[in-house]
Amino acid sequence: MKTKYSRGELSREILKGLALGGFIAICFVAPNFAQVAKLFDTKSSKDRWRLRRTLSNLTREKLVKISYNKKGEEIIKITGDGEKRILKYKYEDVKISIPKKWDKMWRLVMFDIPEIHKKARNALTFKLQDLGFYPLQKSVFILPYECRNETDFICEHFKIREFVNYFVLKDIENEGYLKEWFDL
């Protein structure tokens, strides 16, 4: 087991494992805590204690539910709140992959989000800038790399899909400064 987890990192890893189905599959095959502990390579009793404590905290926070089957074996399942937390983690982990060779196409994200969704609009703006988009205007961002899936995920995360448009452009006027900005 990793010797030092930052605050909440072990919980995050456990929830990600549940989201991938790894824990549930292992729990059905060999559903005791010792099998789950093997996933984290727990060698010492201190590591097992940390893992058990973290699972207990996740249960207390209602992010996972531990139940028992007729044989008395532990079954660990993720709850609805746990799924929401995983979505938050996935949102934080979103990255745009930069290809080795540019396809000479521009990706434009344009939005007109009503004032009632101001927090989502601000969060979208921040996330697009964080991902490396260049702001052409307040609600128009451009990037030279494929990013449709990432953009769709972010829009679905904030429930603002209907207000956001995604364009793929071949030609842009005055693209020299953009090429310079993106080092193309």
The average pLDDT across 178-182 equals: 91
Same-domain pairing of 44 and 115: no
Same domain, 123 and 161: yes
Put simply, whether the predicted model's pTM sits higher than 0.75 gets the answer no
Q: What is the mean pLDDT of residues 61-69?
A: 78
Number of separate domains in the chain? 2
The pLDDT value recorded for residue 28 is 43
How many whole angstroms separate alpha carbon 173 and alpha carbon 142? 13
Position 59 in a domain:
yes
Evaluate whether residue 2 is within a structural domain: no
Q: How far is CA 125 from CA 29, 39, 51, 84, 154, in A?
A: 45, 38, 37, 21, 11
Please check whether residues 35 and 71 belong to one and the same domain: yes
Contact status, residue 35 vs residue 56, Cβ threshold 8 Å: no
The tens digit of pLDDT for each residue in 127-165 reads 999 999 999 999 999 999 999 988 988 888 888 989 999
Query: In whole angstroms, how far apart are CA 63 and each of 13, 57, 71, 77, 118?
Result: 13, 9, 24, 9, 28
Q: Answer with the one of 38, 63, 91 that is the final residue of a domain.
A: 91
Q: Indicate if 110 and 168 belong to the same structural domain.
A: yes
Least confident of 1-5, 106-110, 122-126, 150-154: 1-5
Give the residue from 53, 73, 91 where a domain finishes.
91
* Domain contains 73: yes
Assess if residue 3 is contained within a domain.
no
Residue 84 maps to a domain = yes
Instruction: Give a yes or no: residue 164 inside a domain.
Output: yes
Residue 24 confidence (pLDDT) above 50: no
> What domain range includes position 115?
96-181
Give the range with max mean pLDDT: 28-32, 97-101, 135-139.
Answer: 135-139
Of the three residues 41, 73, 91, the one that is the final residue of a domain is 91
Angle at 81 between CA 78 and CA 83, to 5 degrees: 55
pLDDT of residue 175: 87
